[in-house]
Amino acid sequence: MKISEFLVVNDFAASRYTMGIFPIHHHTSVWSKVIEEDGEYMVQMRPIDVIEQSCLYYGASLKGRKDGTKEIIGISHKAPLAIEPSNEIFFFPTISPSDPQCIWLSHLHIHHHEHAALGKTRVTFSNGHIIELNISHHSFVNQLHRTAQLRTKLRERLEARERKLAYMFHLREKEQYFS
């Protein structure tokens, strides 16, 4: 793969169209190859820096998102992140985020996954793009389930809050009607 074959950008924030962020070694640096629904390009940042920039873009810090994951589902090691929950932007790392080989995948775009030869996992994204990862299928499924748990618990909390607000609004209207 030649870097010159890709559009190269200086910074990037993940969106709901981002499917994965992969480390690419370029000379003495680590850049990111971003795969979106409709194309691929290079970002002159490490994947963890892209994740951090994405959190900041949506108004939170990486530390805050990690702390939130720990509070909500009790996970702090290889924790999935709710980068922007209202837009379904949830990413999970394939290995420790401190490892330069860590890949970040969007939970929204995992269409299919299966065991591949030599302890790898084959992933099919929502647009049909297929990749093979150097991660055991068991570990991949664990990360996928953790992210699903985070999404579900966050959704439940938001829905409970909305129900509570609707109930309080209804009570207030009722009080005004009878006073």
> Tens digit of pLDDT per residue, the chain (179 long)?
555 567 888 889 999 999 999 999 988 999 999 999 999 999 999 999 999 999 999 999 999 999 999 999 999 999 999 999 999 999 999 999 999 999 999 999 999 999 999 999 999 999 999 999 999 999 999 999 999 999 999 999 888 877 777 666 666 666 666 65
Q: Output the pLDDT for position 114.
A: 97
**Over the stretch 99-145, which tens digit does the pLDDT of each residue have?**
999 999 999 999 999 999 999 999 999 999 999 999 999 999 999 99
- Containing structural domain, residue 167: 3-178
CA-CA distance, 163 to 177, in Å (whole number)?
A: 21
Q: Is 89 left (phi over 0), alpha (psi -120 to 50) or beta?
A: beta
* Three-state DSSP class for residue 151: helix
> For residue 43, how many other CB atoms are within 10 A of its CB?
23
Number of domains in the chain: 1
Please give the pLDDT value at position 94: 97
Whether residue 61 contacts residue 43, with contact meaning beta carbons closer than 8 Å, is answered with no
Q: Please state the pTM of the whole predicted model.
A: 0.87
Q: According to the model, what pLDDT value does residue 175 have?
A: 65
